[in-house]
Structure 1
Amino acid sequence: MQMSVNKDMSGMAISLAGSLAHQESENVVIAQGLKRQDPELLDHLIEVYQHRLMRYLLFLTGKREVAEDLFQETWMRVLLRGAQYNGKARFDTWLYTIARNLVIDLSRKRTMASLDEMSEGGEDDRPFEIPTTGPSPLEQFQSRENSAEVGEVLLRLEPTYREVLVLRFYEELSLEEIAGMTKAPLSTVKSRLYRGLAALKPEMEQIRASRPVGEAAV
């Protein structure tokens, strides 16, 4: 039995190592192609990441027209500044960083409450405990019973919480990657994640309470 477990663990380690090596190799290929301004590579990247990038921008801005404009601008920046990508980090984190910076720049110009506050600290980073009675907000979020409802709730949350939740659970970035991308301390990222998760539950309950009796979730 022990030998079988050891084999399984070894197999998992080899698989993980192979996956990481493949990711690094893919990043290098992308970096080389961007330096050459390869049009076929750019078309491929747009095809692969267009839906994820638009979803991220929609969650950050809450407005489709704004998100669509920033979507186009993001890909223009990728084309013009592709030589800056060295392939050491995941391409999607670099892509989202460009998009995020564009959102911040736009927010500053329009002087509206937004992601601008995310880069300035001043947040309460004291440990935050999530109540343990009943299903946790994390469990409710991960169940994805109604993705439309979850999306609606996320747009109600503060931008600082919303962004971390989207990057963690939709884009599946690690907390360390989110910290690097947002230039926030890891403790701040964790605080935003837990507070955002805790804020999901009452918002979800409010949506369900407002639904007519007998109406099923779509």
Structure 2
Amino acid sequence: MSYARAGLLISVKDWFSAPLSDESLMEQYARTGEPKVLSRLYDQHSNALYYYLLVLSNADMAADITQRTWLKVIEKKHLYRHEGKFLGWLFTLGRNALLDELRKQHQQNSHCNQVENLVSDSAVLDDIPDFHQLLKRLPFEQKEAFSLQQEGFSVHEISTICCVPHETVKTRLRYAREKLRKALESQS
């Protein structure tokens, strides 16, 4: 009977305790370095980070940068500040790693606030079979802003991640939606 009671108390205690936020988990990981805590964060956010990077690059590069980003989380855990959102910090690390890789491959000319002229080839949009391919055709800045918004980031958070003013993010989002709408209409 006492074992059943103990099991019941543990279950009730777990039921009443609120799940830890991402920020609390990262703060705990930064303090303790406990792999289980990092594993929870990884399980919750790895796919979203991969998809964001996939929209901006190819599958191999996205997988590689995702892995490098989580290694950066491990290396830079002491730099995490609990005032900010963990997901914004994670995506900023991923974005910076991607930009570094693109620079290495000579596909990128400038840094953070001057990301420009990175566009996909200029094939006719009528031949593109799906939305993901249409998204790939957008200029880098528009694709990035649109992808971050689809991941649930606010304009303010996108502005912070991309190191650009709010109005620039709004403009990029407007142009991205406009180009996607036109491309989809031309396919109909």
Instruction: Identify the TM-score tier after normalising by the shorter chain.
Output: 0.7 to 0.9
After TM superposition, the score normalised by the length of structure 2 is 0.76
Which secondary structure state, in structure 2, belongs to the residue aligned with residue 72 of structure 1?
helix
* Residues 34 and 41, structure 1, Cα contact 8 Å, conserved in 2: no
* Alignment coverage as a number of residue pairs: 160
Q: Residue 137 of structure 2 is aligned with which of 146, 156, 170?
A: 156
Question: Following the alignment from structure 1 to structure 2, what is the Cα–Cα distance between the partners of residues 82 and 23?
Answer: 21
Alignment partners' CA distance in 2, 1:203 and 1:187? 24
1:27 has 2:23 as partner: yes
RMSD: 2.5
Against the structure 1 CA distance between its residues 43 and 24, is the aligned structure 2 distance closer, same or farther, given a 3 Å change threshold?
Answer: closer
- Relative to the length of structure 1, the TM-score reads 0.67
**Residue 65 of structure 1: which of 40, 60, 64 is its match?**
60
Supply the distance in 1 between the matched residues of 2:54 and 2:101 (Cα, whole angstroms).
14
- The residue number in structure 2 matching 1:181 is 161
In 2, distance between residues paired with 1:202 and 1:80?
A: 44
Amino acid paired to 1:165: F
- Which residue number in structure 2 is paired with residue 87 of structure 1? 82
Among 111, 119, 124, which residue is 2:113 paired with?
Answer: 119
Counterpart for residue 127 of structure 1: none
Give the match for residue 179 of structure 2. 199
CA offsets, 1:109-165, max 9 Å, x none?
Answer: 111148x46522789xxxxxxxxxxxxxxxxxxxxxxxx832221111011001111
Structure 1 residue runs without a partner (length 5+): 1-21, 124-147, 210-218
Tell me how far apart the structure 2 counterparts of residues 48 and 54 of structure 1 sit (CA, whole Å).
12
Distance 1:198 1:174 in 2: 19
Per the TM alignment, residue 67 of structure 1 is displaced from its structure 2 partner at its CA by 0.8
Gaps of 5+ in 2: 1-17, 118-128
Separation (CA, whole Å) in 1 of partners of 2:161 and 2:146: 14
- The Cα offsets for residues 184-213 of structure 1, whole Å up to 9 and x where unpaired, read as 01111111111111111122234x35xxxx
Dislocated runs of 4+, deviation >3 Å: 22-26
1:144 match: none
